[in-house]
Structure 1
Amino acid sequence: MHKEKTLQLVYCNSLLTEENFEIISTAHREVRFKKGDFFLSKGEISGSYLIMESGLMRSFVYSYNGDDITTNFFSNHEVVIEVLSLFNRTRSEEYIQALTDCICWQIDHDRFEQLYHSIKGIREWGRAWMSEQLFVSKIRSVEIITDNATNRYLKLIREKPQVIRQAPLKQIASYLGITDTSLSRIRKELSKGSFLASK
Structure 2
Amino acid sequence: MPNGKRAKFSFKYIAAMEALFNFILKFGNLNRQQMDFIASKAKTLTLHKEAYFSEAGKIARQVGFITEGILRVCYYNNKGEEITKYFIDENNLVVDLESFDNEICSSAYVQAVTDCKMIVFSRKDWLELLQTIVGWDAIVHKIISRALMQKVERRSPLVSEDATTRYLKFMEIYPSAVNRIPLAYIASYLGVTQSSLSRIRKNIR
TM superposition score normalised by structure 1 = 0.86
Q: Where does structure 2 lack aligned partners over 5 or more consecutive residues?
A: 1-11
Aligned to 1:9: 22
Contact 1:46 1:86 in 2 (8 A): yes
TM superposition score normalised by structure 2 = 0.84
Task: Report sequence identity in percent.
Answer: 28
Distance 1:131 1:57 in 2: 19
Secondary structure of the residue aligned to 2:140 is helix
Specify which of 35, 45, 58 is matched with residue 49 of structure 2: 35
Matched letter for residue 102 of structure 2: N
Q: Note the aligned Cα RMSD (angstroms).
A: 1.8
Count residues in correspondence: 191
Aligned to 2:39: 25
Distance 2:130 2:75 in 1: 30
* Residues 14/84 of structure 1: CA separation in 2 closer, same or farther (3 Å cut): closer
Q: Where does structure 1 lack aligned partners over 5 or more consecutive residues?
A: 192-199
> 2:173 matched to 1:162?
no
Q: What is the CA-CA distance between 1:141 and the residue it aligns to?
A: 4.5
Contact 1:58 1:97 in 2 (8 A): yes
* Deviation per residue, 1:3-56 (Å, 9 max, x gap): 321211321234212222111111110111222222222110001111111112
* Deviation per residue, 1:43-97 (Å, 9 max, x gap): 1000111111111221211111111111121211111211111112110111122
Aligned to 1:197: none
* Residues 43/4 of structure 1: CA separation in 2 closer, same or farther (3 Å cut): same
Q: What is the CA-CA distance between 1:167 and the residue it aligns to?
A: 0.9
Distance 1:128 1:95 in 2: 24
